[in-house]
Amino acid sequence: MEAVLAELEAALGHCFARAELLVRALTHRSLANERAANEHAPSENITANSEVETEGTGDNERLEFLGDAVLGLVVAEALFLLHPEWQEGELTRVRSQLVSRQHLAEVAAAIDLGSYLRLSRGEDKGGLRRKSTVLSNTMEAVLGALFLDGGLEPVTVFVRRWVMGEAAEQLAEQLRTGAALGNYKSALQEHLQASRAGTPVYRVKSESGPDHRKRFLVEVRLKAADSEAGKPLARGKGSTKKHAEQDAARRALEQLQAAGEKATAQAEVKPRAKKEELAAQ
């Protein structure tokens, strides 16, 4: 039990003084219900000593409630301090993306939180530990346990590294460039519609990896009016089809914007060169 928890504590960057808090945060209600029905049923997922098991009984839903509130506070404070130039609307938009269930599930996957989740036998066999909703809820519960055990400091350290990190910078860049926050597909469609170039069409080119760690390769093509999907714009990768489509849309949008800036620069150079030629004559 201690060795298993130590691995997760290393990823969290915090050694728990009260190990039962982390055990509780990892306990799904299915296991709590199973044990309520059969007090002596052992857990398949973690072999625990009796002391920690007794203190760690119950599920993680109360900790999930606390973790959600603490996460919102820590992210809000960090954004407030890091970006004094942002107004309320900008702060709210970025915070909502960083604390979203989708993003928290990605953070949970990054630290392999699902492998530590304590489930009933039936739910474990059903693949519940890989579901994004369960992962995001467990991540919130773990943050709640971190807060109770060590206060705001360990939560802040973890959140700044894993929840914010590059994601916060990418979202800040989207604000600067005007891209739709977290929705490159919409931004790409709006760009193409504005230029009357056509509409984007997404196709899965390949899938790889085991079921619990799938990788998708998606291509986005430009479909002109009354024609089949034609010119390929970009390809993207992701752990789900939606993530791969967003990545492909992001790459396509960047290429189109770069091409537009280049064309604008060339258009400005031509008149200037003509004036210099006439002046020389």
Question: Which among 64, 68, 124, 219 is annotated as catalytic?
Answer: 68
| Cβ-Cβ contacts under 8 Å for 63 (sequence gap 6 or more) | 21, 24, 25, 140, 141, 142, 144, 145, 148
Residue with tokens 């296991």: 31
H-helix or E-strand containing 203?
strand 199-208
CB contact at 8 A, 163 and 157: no
What pLDDT does residue 238 have?
84
Q: Record the pTM.
A: 0.60
| Alpha carbon distance 60, 237 (integer Å) | 33
Calculate ∠ Cα 32-23-123, nearest 5°: 40
CB contact at 8 A, 22 and 142: yes
| Alpha carbon distance 149, 152 (integer Å) | 9
Q: What is the pLDDT along the chain (281 residues), one digit of tens a residue?
A: 677 789 999 999 999 999 999 999 999 988 877 777 666 544 444 433 333 333 345 899 999 999 999 999 999 999 999 999 888 878 888 898 899 998 999 999 999 999 999 988 887 777 788 889 999 999 999 999 999 999 999 999 999 999 998 888 888 877 766 565 667 888 888 788 877 888 899 999 999 988 777 889 999 999 866 666 678 999 998 878 888 898 899 899 888 888 877 776 666 656 666 666 666 66
Look up 140 and say whether it is catalytic.
yes
What pLDDT does residue 55 have?
39
59-86 exposure pattern, b = at least 16 Cβ within 10 A, e = fewer: bbeebbebbbebbeebbbebbeeeeeeb
Phi/psi at 129 (5° precision) = -70, -10
Q: Say which amino acid occupies 243.
A: H
Look up 20 and say whether it is catalytic.
no
Count the residues in the chain: 281
Q: What is the CA radius of gyration of the chain?
A: 25
Question: Which among 20, 59, 140, 219 is annotated as catalytic?
Answer: 140
- CA neighbours within 13 Å on the CB side: how many for 76? 10
Describe the crossing of helices 165-177 and 61-82 by its angle, rounded to 10 degrees.
Answer: 50
Q: How far is CA 176 from CA 20, 98, 166, 172, 173, in A?
A: 44, 17, 15, 6, 5
Start-to-end C-alpha separation, the chain: 87
Cite the DSSP H helix spans in the chain: 2-12, 19-25, 29-37, 50-55, 61-82, 88-98, 101-110, 121-125, 132-150, 152-158, 165-177, 184-195, 241-280
- Write down all domains in the chain, each with its CATH number in brackets: 2-177 (1.10.1520.10), 204-280 (3.30.160.20)
